[in-house]
Amino acid sequence: MHRTPLVESRPKDPMSLFAKQSKPPKDGSRSFKYVDPWRDCSDLLGIRIIVPLASQKSQVQALIEASHLFKVLDVDDKSQGREYNELTYGGLHLDLLISGAVTPLSDHVRCEVQIRTLAEHTWAETEHEFIYKGPDGVSKDTKRQFARALALAELLDQELDKGVQEVSLLKSNAPLDLMKGLQALAKQMNWSLGSRGLTADHLREIGALTDRSPSELLTLSSDFASKHRDLLNRIRDEIGPQAPEFDIRNHALAVQPEAILVAALIHENPFAFNSQIEYSDLRDLVLPIARFVDETGIFSTD
């Protein structure tokens, strides 16, 4: 996923719940909205996930549906079922039951998750404030301005998705995907992101020396990080930038996300990797990492 989504959350304001409960249902079956608001109100907790690209909305939905933390009660995709000549907000709303969550007033907790693009979010927040919750007397021309803005937001999302897809298919984009993947791993582990320029230089050299594709190197790094998190944490804590023993002259690679890849390559085959970088300037940078990973001693011999 490109860039980390923005996440907003809020509990429902008690007075807002009171006002909502005071409104009878549309069928007029009772004088109040919910039989039990603590059980039946779908947005006691509200979460909004804002993504850069429209194609990422379904990715976020898939992650939520695959999680054991939630049970999906309902999916409301506002973009579906619209007429060809109809302009409406296209966010994706999920009604969730939070597994194992209870309160003093109910034996479960429901949550509404809204997934929208940044363009949709900008339009929706502005329209909500100035039109939906705005003053009386807003002219039709002004409302048309907001409708035109929504059309432009939809067009922006479509064009960005197409552009990103076209760039992603370029062979030359693969090294950048590797860099982004390593940066994402580093961020998950509270590892320094270091210098983007140095990362690009190091990955270019590692790729040439190992004759491995960027996708292979990223898969190797991800698998290693998932299985050897404690080892990587030791490297970070003992020679990373916050460590008392940190020395930029000797531990420069420990500042960089590509240290995860280097550790994975050493762990996979220390003899092969040592041979590949033997006459490279990278070797001196690799040695402090190898001290934690190499169990053969090959990196300690010159």
Q: pLDDT tens for residues 78-113?
A: 999 888 888 899 999 999 999 888 888 788 888 999
pLDDT tens for 171-219 read 888 899 999 999 999 999 888 889 999 999 999 999 999 989 999 999 9
The per-residue pLDDT for range 230-288, each reduced to its tens digit, is 999 999 999 998 899 899 989 999 999 999 999 999 999 999 999 999 999 899 999 99
What's the confidence (pLDDT) of residue 2? 54
C-alpha 45 chain-centroid distance: 21
pLDDT value for 3: 65
Strand order of the sheet with strand 92-98?
A: 6-11, 45-51, 110-117, 92-98, 70-77
Average pLDDT value for residue range 55-66:
95
Q: Are 156 and 119 in contact (CB under 8 A)?
A: yes
**How much is the pLDDT for 94?**
96
Residue 1, pLDDT above cutoff 80: no
Confidence of residue 14 (pLDDT cuts 50, 70, 90): confident
Instruction: Record the tokens describing residue 97, joined without a space.
Output: 């039951």
Is the pLDDT reported for residue 134 higher than 80? Answer: yes
The closest alpha carbon to 266, from 218, 211, 224, belongs to 224
Distance between CA atoms of 34 and 30, rounded to whole angstroms?
9
The span from the CA of 79 to the CA of 41, in Å, is 24
Which residue shows structure tokens 């020395």? 247
Query: Residue 108's pLDDT is what?
Result: 84
Locus of tokens 């009660």 = 73
Q: At 3, give phi and psi (nearest 5°).
A: 65, 150
Residue 71 φ then ψ, to 5°: -115, 125
The backbone torsions φ and ψ at residue 264, rounded to the nearest 5 degrees and listed phi first, read -65, -40
Which segments of 66-181 are extended strands (E)?
70-77, 92-98, 110-117
In this prediction, residue 301 carries a pLDDT of 53
Amino acid at 260: I
Q: pTM of the prediction?
A: 0.75
Q: Across residues 114-139, what is the average pLDDT?
A: 95
Q: What average pLDDT does range 13-40 have in this prediction?
A: 83
